[in-house]
Amino acid sequence: MPSDMQLLKENLAVVEPVQDKAVGYFYATLFRRNPEVRSMFPLVMDVQRDRLFRALTSAVQGMDRPESLVPMLRQLARDHRKFGVRPEHYEVVGRALIGAVRQYSYGDWSEEIEAAWWRAFTMIARTMIDAAAEVEHEPATWQAEIVSHQRRTLDIAVLRLRPDAPYPFEAGQYTTVESPWLPRVWRSYSMANAPRPGNEIELHVRRIGAGWVSGALLRKHQAGDVLRLGPPRGDTVLDRDSPRDLLCVAGSTGLAPMKAIIEDLGRSNTTRRAHLFFGARLEEDLYDLDGLDDLAARHPWLTVIPTVSHDPGYPGEQGNAAEVAARRGAWQHHDVYVSGSPAMITAATALFRELQVPAGRIRYDSFGDTGIVRGF
């Protein structure tokens, strides 16, 4: 008898090549049968519309690794409170999901496969429903006033926000932001500071091409505006018990969580050293050198190395942050933290693996996908 896992993986291999069609079918049936859930989703759903579907299928594939899947599902459930998700919505999503995979299995379907899907989905839904119930006492969202908005380059701004209630995050985590200009369109931004007494958080936002939320945050918003935040997310936090020195590698606004982690380290550190490589394409994109000078002046154990990859005339270190780091040291005994675009993370992790840094000591949050989509 094949196991549930085997059945599901074989079935997903059939559906994956036509996943786009399955996603379309999933949303069409979900919204037709349950019009009330349509208002939880963005008005226009072309950008990143496959995230929920991909997450559901990847969660099912990750069921044989509950030690990583369950914590992710718990964070996701806490986050889903911001959409207004209630326990009864899980079954309707399950029906639409399983209906879509059945439809795009093109007859390669059986009662056993359907039963395996329901068992997997029920376990995922139960984990999320229970986790959401445990945090019922905390706000589902926070209103956060922009207390300062500094345009540092044409495409990068540093925003300081003050949430309307204590925001319980750890240095290295990210928040999700909804602009009133773009209702129900949520994007992730990393906190650039460790928690502070005034409850303020700093975000570093880089505008991506025609990007919706980054464009609004850069160009439309100003001090005094109010944004909505979801709960904090992410596991790329400082390992306080580790005795090892730190290597932090940041591409562009990937600097934000690295600064937070270093600030956190600064609160207790007596013995660990840290190197921070901060990379940009051009010198003018090194948008926070003054802030980094301050940090290095306060923490003698910190060395900051800015790097520039696309200006042969730059007098300092040439290359992207990971390449320069690789040239400058032996890092196999360090804890390595990497933050930036998906391409940068992929290249940097491969490079540090080649340099014999054990995989378990390389931590990152890619600015592309959130954990559950990336991790499985």
Which residue lies nearer to ligand FAD by CB, 127 or 214? Answer: 214
Residue 286 touches which of ligand FAD, ligand HEM, none (Cβ within 5-8 Å per kind)? none
Binding of residue 341 to ligand FAD (CB under 6 A) = yes
Give least dist CB 325 to ligand HEM, A: 29
Binding of residue 365 to ligand FAD (CB under 6 A) = yes
Distance between CA atoms of 298 and 143, rounded to whole angstroms? 32
Give the dihedral of Cα atoms 338, 343, 346, 349; nearest 10 deg: -30
Distance between CA atoms of 235 and 190, rounded to whole angstroms? 12
Binding of residue 44 to ligand FAD (CB under 6 A) = no
Distance between CA atoms of 270 and 337, rounded to whole angstroms? 20
Neighbours of 349 (CB within 10 A): 20
Helix (H, G, I), strand (E, B) or coil at 250: strand
Q: What are phi and psi of 39, to 5 degrees?
A: -75, -5
Give least dist CB 367 to ligand HEM, A: 13
Residue 263 touches which of ligand FAD, ligand HEM, none (Cβ within 5-8 Å per kind)? none
Binding of residue 149 to ligand FAD (CB under 6 A) = no
Binding of residue 370 to ligand FAD (CB under 6 A) = yes
Considering only residues 243 through 272, tell me which ones interact with ligand FAD, judged by CB under 6 A: 253, 256
Draw the binding track, 116-155, toward ligand HEM (x: CB under 6 A; -: no contact).
Answer: --------xx--x---------------------------
Which residue lies nearer to ligand FAD by CB, 201 or 295? Answer: 201
Distance between CA atoms of 30 and 32, rounded to whole angstroms? 6
Pairing of strands 246-251, 274-280: parallel
201 in the Ramachandran plot: left (φ > 0), alpha (ψ -120 to 50) or beta? Answer: beta
Residue 315 half-sphere exposure, CB side, CA atoms within 13 Å?
0
DSSP calls for 138-160: S-S-EEEEEEEEEE-SSSEEEEE
Binding of residue 83 to ligand HEM (CB under 6 A) = yes
Helix (H, G, I), strand (E, B) or coil at 376: coil
Binding of residue 174 to ligand FAD (CB under 6 A) = yes
Total number of residues shown for the chain? 376
Residues 4, 79, 285, 335: which binds ligand HEM (CB under 6 A)?
79
Considering only residues 20 through 59, tell me which ones interact with ligand HEM, judged by CB under 6 A: 37, 40-42, 45, 48-49, 51-52, 55-56, 59
Residues 82, 160, 187, 334: which binds ligand FAD (CB under 6 A)?
187
Binding of residue 45 to ligand FAD (CB under 6 A) = no
Of 1-9, 79-87, 239-247, 277-285, the segment contacting ligand HEM by CB under 6 A is 79-87
Distance between CA atoms of 239 and 352, rounded to whole angstroms? 19
Distance between CA atoms of 264 and 266, rounded to whole angstroms? 5
Residues within the interface to ligand HEM (CB under 6 A): 37, 40-42, 45, 48-49, 51-52, 55-56, 59, 76, 79-80, 83, 85, 89-90, 93, 124-125, 128, 186, 370, 372-373
Residues within the interface to ligand FAD (CB under 6 A): 47-48, 174, 187-190, 204-206, 208-215, 234, 253, 256, 341, 365, 367-368, 370
